Amino acid sequence: MTRVALLDDYQDAALQMADWQSLPADVEVQVFRDHLSDEDALVERLKDINIIMAMRERTPFQRSLLQRLPNLKLLITAGMRNASIDLQAASDCGVMVCGTEGLGYPTAELTWGLILSLMRRIPHEDRATRNGQWQVTTGLGLQGKTLGLMGLGRLGSQVAAVGKAFQMNLIAWSQNLTAERAAEYDATLVSKDELMAQSDILSVHLILSDRTRGLIGARELGMMKPTAYLVNTSRGPIVDEPALIQALEDGTIAGAGLDVFDVEPLPLDHPFRRLDNLVITPHIGYVTDETYRVFYGDALEDIHAFLKGEPIRVLNPGS
């Protein structure tokens, strides 16, 4: 019997997104909806599992955990990049890691959902209307405002295109961005400090790495306009979380829209849950039916290929 575990299926969607019955009769698929962060609890749950599908970075697989899962042979990550999986440790433990394709546009769409929610006070007006009130705020328009893009890659460029449609002024910066690349999207290349100081809305679109961790801290937030908004749909640790909390509490910036956090799920006592100049979503940038059908469909393909001895989308060759 080959045992398969699908982890962190928060929406109870996994079994509807792919034809798991196509697997051989001796393959058992088990779905876990809850999230476990304690390593001992994870080991107890997964000790007899042969194949695991990890949904993005929800459950990290570092060396200490992998070493305690001797029956694990295949680890599948949703997407082709996962910073929470130690690929070298997986190879050392004889675990093959495979990925899936994904869709880029849903995160760009959510970015605009957060921007519009902030500028037009949509969550606030929704709550007020449900409580019997009527028109309690005035919103802000986008036309003529400056949209700052920290990163102008696959996602940042999609966000830029929508900003242009709203007739916004576009500026951009990242460590490797060129003026020519920025001009392709009608954006002006500026320095990092200029990006912070000039943006009415600053949207983060960078990959988390050693050089981007903490890239936006107290200094950078202090350079922003008091009327400016920060939006982060990339990775939480790119923005120094305590510094952002302080900036929101002090009114250093007008507000923020966040889909990502240092610790996920967000702790129940986290300050972000009580700040009223903040719109938060639970890391749902990629969470759409369309994306899930790609993730789970490709994961199923990965399993079929692995069982046939012809693995595909391998992320740690030689494992």
- By annotation, the residues acting in catalysis are 235, 264, 283
Cβ-contact 188, 160 below 8 angstroms: no
Structure tokens, 293: 């059908």
Residue 183 φ then ψ, to 5°: -65, -30
Cβ-contact 52, 75 below 8 angstroms: yes
Residue with tokens 């939480």: 236
Amino acid at 88: Q
Go through 171-199 and write b for each residue having 16 or more CB atoms within 10 A of its CB, e for each that does not: bbbbeebeeebbeebebebbeeeebbbbb
Amino acid at 29: V
Residue 100 to residues 51, 79, 286, Cα–Cα distance (Å): 15, 5, 13
What is the 8-class DSSP label of residue 204?
E
Parallel, antiparallel, or unpaired: how do β-strands 201-204 and 146-150 relate? parallel
- What residues have CB less than 8 Å from 297, skipping those under 6 apart? 17, 18, 100
Distance between CA atoms of residues 28 and 183, nearest Å? 52
Distance between CA atoms of residues 298 and 85, nearest Å? 18
Cβ-contact 66, 279 below 8 angstroms: no
Residue with tokens 């962060």: 37
